[in-house]
Structure 1
Amino acid sequence: MSYIRPLTKCKFTVSLCVYISDDDRVGEELRRKVRILCWVMTSPRNLGNKAAAVKDTWGKRCDVLLFFSSVSNSTFPVIGLNVSEGRDHLTAKTMQAFYYIYQHHLNDADWFMKTDDDTYVIIENLRYLLSTQNASRPVYFGHHFKYINDRRTYNSGGAGYVISKEALTRYGVQGRANKSICRQDGEAEDLSFGECMENLGVVIGNSADSSGRTRFHCFMLNAHLVGDFPDWYYNFSVKAVAKGIDSVSDYAISFHYCRPQDMYMFEFLVYHLQLYGVISGRQDIT
């Protein structure tokens, strides 16, 4: 079902208002063509707040939405994995979740996105990025990081990353069974998964727009606007770190470190807020 957002357009000289609605035909066409499975890494203590906010907001726009934790919960619902909670086992969560998806949902989508339960994602903009990509290629997209004093590069886990169907297939067929290709626990989750993808011949795609602006974001929007970044971010980012409105793509995809109230704020700003008397005529530049 298409999403219709009503807008009132009024002439100031007469008391006449004409009701119009957004034209979302392009978005609906992309929804049919670009199928996305989203899976969210969460924990039992976060189901009632963070995970619930994802479910209430952006998660409902995914073609398939799954939550993974260490304990199953059929009411929410959430899928329990055979892994302990804690940062030391985030790699195990990710590897087991992707293998579960390979076993049960490989043909339900073309692209498979992993996020944390404090990441907000604008699914329409993700579909737009992926609309020019081929899911049969071994590729994945996100915010490009590098390991300090190392040649390894990978995509940030917090900002969320999305892998192609071919990348998931390679992991399911080759990576899961061979720990020398894909470690199954330990080290940083996003670094471990990036190393796994590299060993499987999966390349990191360019997620910046044509002006070099970022689409996947490791922090909340305000941090990227004012440049309130920790030192490690400068060391890990592959591209030079920029700040300000002109550094963030108009077609931004994700923001990390969102509280539940931030999720609902994004939901209102992106999908409900209107400028009275203004109808946007901007055309896209990728």
Structure 2
Amino acid sequence: MSEFECPSERLSLIRTRYIHTELGIRERLLVGVLTSRATLNTLAVAVNRTVAHHFHRTFFFTGLRSPKVPHGMAVVAHGDDRPVWLMYETVRHLHQHYGLDYDWFFLAQDDTYMQAERLAELVGHLSAGQDLYMGRAEEFIGGEERARYCHGGYGYLLSRSLLARLQPHLDTCRNDILSVRPDEWLGRCIIDYLGLSCVEVHQEMTYRYFELGKNADPEREDRAQF
């Protein structure tokens, strides 16, 4: 696993993180985008150009080994492109490296359309320090009626405290939960070990999304968040 950042940028990040930790200050939001061999240089680049500059930090997570990194992008390569493994490594990486630095973590696929201003507004109104798993709630096929996972195509928010509580269970979830969909796998892990389902409304704030065929751009094939 390797993270691609220039030395001067890395030094600045470490120093900034150290100061913020000393003072008990955290940034509000880190954005993680799941990408692939086929889309790193297309969809992921488009995300980086259009919305990444609106966020404090945006990372692109891929299963490639030593990929050729597009200019100006922070890419983390896990070395295994199986979707569930990529999700497992991504969540583990976020907690280990940034779990003390940010209040909220937004995960999305590289074909998710994001309106950065509305996402920033949402996290700006949510209280930190609580367990929250927020996005487009979907039912598990054949699962219990009230259990919901957050659909990966719309992106979803994970709170810092949820990430910290989930960390000790990730290895067990990786070994015991069988799923080919990374969003379902993560949702099942959160439900089984933390007892939390995906929610669309919290503290009178609603997670907004729209779909193709309703009020989405008819030329897009993906889902749109906010």
- Offset of residue 214 of structure 1: 6.2
Give the equivalent residue in structure 1 for 2:35.
Answer: 42
Matched residues in 1 for 2:165 and 2:175: separation?
Answer: 11
* Aligned 8 A contact 2:169 2:193 in 1: yes
Give the equivalent residue in structure 1 for 2:151.
Answer: 156
- Which residue of 79, 82, 89 corresponds with 2:79? 82
Structure 1 unaligned runs (5+)? 1-31, 229-254, 264-269, 271-286
TM-score, length basis structure 2: 0.72
TM-score, length basis structure 1: 0.58
Count of aligned pairs between the two proteins: 193
- Which residue of 33, 45, 48 corresponds with 1:52? 45
**Secondary structure, counterpart of 1:135 in structure 2:** coil
1:199 correspondence with 2:189: no
**Secondary structure, counterpart of 1:75 in structure 2:** coil
1:116 correspondence with 2:81: no
* Aligned 8 A contact 2:135 2:207 in 1: no
Matched residues in 2 for 1:182 and 1:144: separation?
Answer: 23
Matched residues in 1 for 2:215 and 2:169: separation?
Answer: 39
Give the equivalent residue in structure 2 for 1:165.
Answer: 160
- Which residue of 209, 215, 219 corresponds with 1:225? 215
Tell me which moved more, 185-194 or 107-116: 185-194
Structure 2 unaligned runs (5+)? 1-24
Matched residues in 2 for 1:170 and 1:182: separation?
Answer: 18
* Aligned 8 A contact 2:126 2:203 in 1: no
- Offset of residue 147 of structure 1: 1.7
Matched residues in 2 for 1:74 and 1:167: separation?
Answer: 33
- Offset of residue 129 of structure 1: 2.2
Structure with more of its chain in strand, by fraction: 2
RMSD: 3.3
Matched residues in 2 for 1:90 and 1:115: separation?
Answer: 13
* Aligned 8 A contact 2:148 2:197 in 1: no
